[in-house]
Each structure stands twice: as C-alpha cells, then as structure tokens.
A and B are shown apart, each in its own frame.
Chain A
Amino acid sequence: MNNGNILLDVQDLYAGYQKLDILKGVNLQVNTGEIVCVIGPNGAGKSTVFKAVYGFIDIRKGRALFDGSDVTDYRPQDMLRAGVSIVPQLRSVFPQMTVEENLEMGMYLEKENKQVRKRIDEIFDLFPRLAERKKQKAGTMSGGEQRMLEIGRALMYRPKLLLMDEPSAGLAPLITKMIFEQIENLNRELGLTVLMIEQNARQGLEISDQGYVLQLGKNSFMGPSKDLLDNPEVRSAFLGG
C-alpha cells in the first residue's frame, strides 16, 4: 500500500499535562491509504499523541504536518476542516440524542442542510444497522452499535484520515472482530487512511500495514506490522510470547 505519499507526519513531539511531559519526542508517519497501528503499555502516551495532534492539548515542542500543511497549532475544528476525524476511546455518542441527530452533529461545521441530509443517507448505506435505528436514542444502543455510530459520525465530514483510539475498548471479542472488519472495509473500499491505537496488540497489528511501539513517551520499535509481529522482543513484551 505504501505509495510514498506521507499524509500525517509527526516530528519529535513533546506534550503533556500541567508540568509533566508525557510525550518526549514521538515520531510517526502515516502514508495515504494505510492502516497504521500504535501499540504500547498503559501510560506510554498513546492517547496523548492523539490529543496533541488533534489540538485538545498543546504541542510543546516538535510539529505535526498533515497533507503538506503545518497543523501543529490547529484546534479540533481546524483539524476536521483539514480532513482529520477522531473516534476516542471512551464512549462519545450524545446519549440523549437520536442516531440521526448524532450523525448530524458529525457535520456540525457544514452550513448547507441538504449536504448534511445527503451525507447521513450515505452513512446509512454504509452502516445499515444505524439506518434501522435512526430514531433511537444513541445511549440506549449496545456498545458495538454505539461504536459503529461513533465511526459513522466521524466519517460524516469526509475525512482523509481517521484517528481511532482503541476501537476495541470495552467490546466483546466477536464485536471487536466485526469493528475491525469494518475498519478494513473502509480502508479498502473508500481508501480511508486510519491511524489507530490498540491495546489488543496482535489483532491491531494483523489488520494494519505499519506499526509503532510507544514506551515512556518515545518510539521504541517501528516498521511494517508483519515484521513487528515476528520481532521476538515485541512478541515477548506485547504479544504474549
């Protein structure tokens, strides 16, 4: 898949909370059309990378380039406009709003109502299950359905890059498998580029093209995912031998 076209380029990233730097020089590159998976122990700063890149917290040093532009100081709404969406680890649906309203919020920045309606229908084609439940309150759906809605909502604004923070978090193995298949489908059929964090390291590496291992706020291993799967050090530390 690697056509050498770098979509997201994170260089020597420093970020953290209060006085503490969680990230101490993280480097990441995501090529157009790839699925890239970040693994690593708890507290390694995986989610912090997303928060810093997406503009939830400040980048203290280093920079982030997306699609050729410097997005280091972008706020979330700027990232969306540039073509990046995010699905966070914790539940992020609007629980008291219907499925349809949740999707509508995904295109909050679009002024043209007709565009929003059209896009909602396209998402319903992509996720027929959501179409069946369009009038249901999002908070009453199952965990898997809510995750599907979160992905659907993140796709509303037609992102080029989707950031996914532990898509499998809190889901049963069967549902996780379904969500992973869904991600692979989106990558293959829509050419969606995906950068994801996954606790479930083996499964994450299996569906991805490139992998990164983060430890203590720094890169420790990187390379094609299948090489990481074969790497004895990575295997013993993160893949259960």
Chain B
Amino acid sequence: MDFSDLLIQTLINGILIGGLYGVMTLGFSVIWGVMGVINLAHGEFLMLGAYMAWVLNKQQGWEPFLTLLVILPVMFLLGYVIQIVLINRIIEKPHLIALLVTYGLAIVMASTVKLIYTANPRITTTQFSGYWEFDFGGFVLPVTKTLVLIAALLMMFGLYFFLNRTRFGKSIRAAAQNKEAARMVGIEINKVYAATFGICIALTGAAGMLLSPLGSIHPFMGAAWTLKAFAITAMAGLGNIPGALLGGMMLGLVENLLATFVPTVGSSVGIISSFALLVIVLVTRPQGLFGGLKAPQEIR
C-alpha cells in the first residue's frame, strides 16, 4: 500500500467513525441547547448503553445491533425520570449546581457499573464483521463500522425530522428559543424538558451500543467521551444536527490521520486530538465553526 492509498483508507475510516461521533454528540448538544444544562454525565449514559448492549450480547446471545430495540426505550425512560426527579428541580438555579449534580450522577453511575461488572474492559461481538472490498484501488469498508455509520445517520435524520416536522418536536425548539413564550402558548416546559432529556439519553445510549463492537467498554470510559462531545459541540453549535455530523467527521478524520501517520502518540491519541481541536477552536473561533456556542435562546 503506497502513501496515497493509505491516506484514502485513513480518510474512509475517519468518516466511518465520524458518524458515531456525530450521533454521540447530539444528546449532549441538544440538552445544552434546549435547557442550558451541561450534562457532565453524558459519557456515563453512553457507557450505560454500551453495557446494556454487552449484557444482552454476552449473557442473552443477542446481536448487538438488535439491542437498540431495548436500549432506546429503556434509556428514554431513564432520562425522562432523571429529568423529572432531578434536573427539573435545579434547572432554574445557577449553572454550577447542574454541573455538580450531573458530575455526581456520573460518579454514581460509573461506580455502580464497576461494582456489578468489575472494571474489566468489554467488547460486544457482532455477526456483521469482516470487510467489503472494492475492485477499484483495493480499498476496504469494514462492515461493522459501515453499519455503525448507517445506523448513526438514520438516528440523526430521525431526530432532525422529529424536531423540524412534528408538532412536539417543534415545541422543543420553541421552548429552547423562548421559554416564556412557550409557556404562553400552552407548552408545558417540564414535560418538554423531560421528553427532551429522555430522547437525548436514548440517543446517547444507542451511541454506546454503536461503539460497543468497535472499542473496549469499561466503567470509567465516560469522561473522555464527554470531552469529545464537548469538543464537537464547540465546533458544531448547540443543537445543530448537521453541524454535529460535520464536527464528528472532522474529529474522526483528525484522530485517524494522527493514529496512522503519528503512530508514536499511541492509544491516547483520541483524547489528545479532541482536546487539541477544542482548544484550537475556542482560541481561534470562540463563536464555533458553524454557528457556535451561542445558545439558541440568545439569538434574537
């Protein structure tokens, strides 16, 4: 394989993983955009989804991709309940409180999972493995990663359709843009927030399933993923779905390029590149690359 082949294959891999990054970011970005809460337990919800996939896969023999049928509704319920009993109570309080509460939630979740399943790294096994090879140029498409990208794109499109084409989805955007006005037209903010949190957590859990056959799952994987979500949100802008996809792909490309061409950086390359991207974006374009961190409700 010469250099240009290697480059193209690296780009393909970067784009494939970028879809996962994109869908993984949505939950974090939409919760922030709609209710102004920075969910520091984001990565832990991802971890929880990944463990659900692993348990169903290893103990019940399910195909990991099929576990989405369980993960989506269960994580939705979990998110809905957490919003009602916890987040709704603190949402009007200073931001620091929400940070502390979600950080505490993260620790509780990670420690509980460690108690039950130990800290051993895990991975799910899918029957959709191997490579699709192309006649031209000898490039290959890893089957699992391709399915992950397809599933990620479907979920992103689903959320986009829901927010822009359904009455309830529009009410979520309305609540994000002007909370008082949303109340005036009869939108019940607490219910909208609970549904939003539920949907975001469901997507985040699903993203956890998507990464379960690709990398190792462990109880303390969350923080790195929260940071990635933060970096991509900074590039994409709050609640910006196409932006999250682009930002996810950018991070996927940067990571894969670094891993291929600067191999000495080793296994920690992912976290280094997302942090570097975050710093570069915040320093050079604090408004973000496509729309930025300005909250939708501040745009008048």
Contact = CB atoms under 8 A, between A and B. Distances in A.
B186 A96 contact: no
Say what secondary structure dominates the interface of chain B.
helix
Given A104-B170, A105-B170, A139-B300, A95 B184 contact: no
A97 interface: yes
Given A104-B167, A139-B300, A94 B186 contact: no
A96 B173 contact: yes
A101 interface: yes
Interface stretch (B15-23, B174-182, B213-221, B278-286): B174-182
A94 B173 contact: yes
Contacts, number: 68
A95 B185 contact: no
A97 B186 contact: no
A96 B174 CA distance: 9
A76 B177 contact: no
A77 B190 CA distance: 13
Interface stretch (A24-32, A85-93, A120-128, A221-229): A85-93
B173 A97 contact: yes
B171 interface: yes
Contacts of B186: 76-77, 80-81, 108-109, 157
A86 B184 contact: yes
Contacts of A218: none
A97 B170 contact: yes
B: interface residue count bin: 10 to 19
Contact of A92 (B171, B181, B187, B296): B181
Interface in B164-205: 167, 170-171, 173-174, 177-178, 180-188
A97 B174 contact: yes
B187 A108 contact: yes
Nearest to B171: A108
A139 B300 CA distance: 6
Given A92-B184, A94-B182, 15 more contacts: A77-B186, A81-B186, A88-B180, A92-B180, A92-B181, A93-B181, A94-B174, A95-B178, A95-B299, A95-B300, A96-B173, A105-B174, A109-B186, A153-B185, A157-B186
Interface of A: 54, 56, 76-77, 80-81, 85-86, 88, 90-97, 101, 104-106, 108-109, 113, 139, 153-154, 157
21 contacts: A56-B180, A76-B183, A76-B186, A80-B186, A81-B186, A85-B184, A88-B180, A91-B300, A92-B180, A93-B178, A94-B173, A94-B181, A95-B300, A96-B177, A96-B296, A97-B174, A97-B177, A105-B174, A108-B185, A108-B186, A157-B186
Interface of B: 167, 170-171, 173-174, 177-178, 180-188, 296, 299-300
